[in-house]
Amino acid sequence: MLQIYKSLESGPLQELTLKTLEKGAWINIVDPTPYELKVVSNLTEVDPDFLRSALDDEERSHTDVEENSVMVLTNVPVFRGEDSYDALPLAIIVTDEYIITVCLEETPVITEFNERTSRLFRTYKKTRFLFQILYKSATYFLRYLRQISKLSEEIEDQLRHDMKNSEILRLLELQKGLTYFNAAIRSNGAVLDKLLRMRNNTSLTPILKAYEEDEDLLEDVIIENKQAKEMVEMYSKILARLADTFSSIISNNQNLVMKFLAAMTIILAIPTVVSSFFGMNVPVPFAENAHGFLYVMCIAFSISIVSAYVLWHRDMF
């Protein structure tokens, strides 16, 4: 999918086509076809490798600079429903005339820049728009991390009342999401630090024109990313300890069940042993007694009670 927008001076977004492409336009590409990549590359003179870089879902965040363009590849958070979270690469390419975004999927980080919010950004202010996208990504990381925190608390409460496999699997799914977020936020931090250093690179000034407000925005992005980094580390530790705690509880419950079964096996085996003893084909006590069976049962029952009492005092029940 390929969408082209340009901010008007009055505020609203104007939708363009490849034939009416103008300077200062924003080209948004989602899960592109080879033809779309080729056409955009020819029209904008952007290296095709820049456009394809975000199509590898394992690509790490980094920056690349060519003669007429700068590419910032960052990882953005994705919520896949239920308790599943992931991170996807998003390429933001800034040229002399355009800003281009490429991603494998539609993400709220990009879709929030629309007609409704058009007064908050300008596509022709490319550097500021770049930093606004990065800021939006950082805020979504924070939002999803808070969601994960709430979900983990809900799962913990449910596990305290009923230890279900489904809840444990939900906990593992959240841990996996935090792992993806941790890797993404760390690599994004390295990119932001590099962007901070690139401000002093005079050769990039024609492409990345940064004003004082833009620099303040970049610093805000760095602060938000650091906060997300601290949060993901804290939540990862909490979930890891929570998983270890419930693993210990499950193991302890299993040991208690095994102890109970062992004790019951011993108690239930006593009547069998006693009856086997009196059932041997040799002279035994009470063999000629009319109430011999009752005596044998009383003996077995008494021994079982004594054994149960001893096992109970040894915490076998």
pLDDT digits (tens, 9 = 90+) for 119-170: 888 988 888 999 999 999 999 999 999 999 999 888 888 888 777 778 888 8
3-state DSSP call for residue 232?
A: helix
At 103 the pLDDT is: 93
Helix boundaries (H) for 3-57: 34-44, 48-52
Domain with CATH 1.20.58 in the chain: 252-313
Strands in 62-65's sheet, in edge-to-edge order, are: 13-16, 2-7, 26-30, 99-103, 85-95, 69-79, 62-65
Quote the CA–CA distance of 215 and 135 in Å, as a whole number: 12
Quick one: pLDDT at residue 104?
Answer: 92
pTM exceeds cut of 0.85: no
Start and end residues for every CATH 3.30.460.20 domain found in the chain: 2-249
User: pLDDT at position 282, please?
Assistant: 62
> Is 252-313 a CATH 1.20.58 domain?
yes
Q: Hey, what are 223's tokens?
A: 């602060």
pLDDT < 70: residue spans in the chain:
200-206, 279-282, 284, 286-291, 317
pLDDT of residue 270: 82
Distance CA(67)–CA(50), nearest Å, equals: 13
Could you please state the CATH topology (level 3) that the domain comprising 2-249 is classified under: Beta Polymerase; domain 2 (3.30.460)
